[in-house]
Amino acid sequence: MLFGIGYDIHKLVKDRKLILGGVEFDYHLGLFGHSDADVVVHALCDALLGAAALGDIGEHFPDTDLAWKGASGKTLLSKVVKLLKEKHCRVNNVDVVILAEKPRLGAMKLEMKKNIADWLGIDMSRVNIKATTMEGVDAIGRGEAIAAQAIASLCEDV
């Protein structure tokens, strides 16, 4: 069994869509970034890449490469899954925690879970999504940013 962790944070800005786990939220702010800035998927990509010792998201999808401008989390995660298959690895399970003061995420966690399970090609029972606030502490707590942490386990197909 192989394990990896990932983390991502983006600041909240006006005139951007808020997309988390492939779900678009009805919120007045969105996450700033080169791609769709989906911190859930970005943290998950880093966890998966780390578990397979394949570097990090910045190496595979640099923000200096226009090919990834506006890219969806689904697109990035699909590329990571392809890299895992080339290394004869498959996803066993993933666990993600979203750190956000607002908006409330509870009602959308199931949809995020469905998206991620589908994109990874695994059963939903192998995907966990949690959300927490920062109780008003730091940039996340002040509503200036949203972050996500992820852990993934992989099995090697030998």
CATH number assigned to the domain comprising residue 39: 3.30.1330.50
Domain that holds residue 99: 2-156
* Site of tokens 């899954």: 81
- What is residue 121's predicted lDDT score, i.e. its pLDDT? 96
Q: How many domains, in total, are found in the chain?
A: 1
pTM, two decimal places: 0.95
Confidence of residue 55 (pLDDT cuts 50, 70, 90): very high
pLDDT at 132 over 90: yes
Q: Percent of the chain having pLDDT more than 90? A: 89
Tokens of 16: 């951007």
Q: 109 — phi, psi (to 5°)?
A: -60, -40
Q: Is the pLDDT of residue 158 over 80?
A: no
- Work out the pLDDT band at 70, boundaries 50, 70, 90: confident
pLDDT digits 0-9 by tens, 34-50: 999 999 999 999 999 99
Report pLDDT for 28.
Answer: 96
Question: Of 24, 55, 27, whose CA–CA distance to 38 is shortest?
Answer: 24
Q: What rounded mean pLDDT belongs to the chain?
A: 95
Query: Is the pLDDT score of 66 beyond 90?
Result: no
- In this predicted structure, the answer to whether residue 99 has a pLDDT above a threshold of 90 is yes
Distance, in Å, from the CA atom of 116 to the CA atom of 119, rounded to the nearest integer, reads 5
What span, in angstroms and rounded, lies between the C-alpha atoms of 64 and 29? Answer: 24
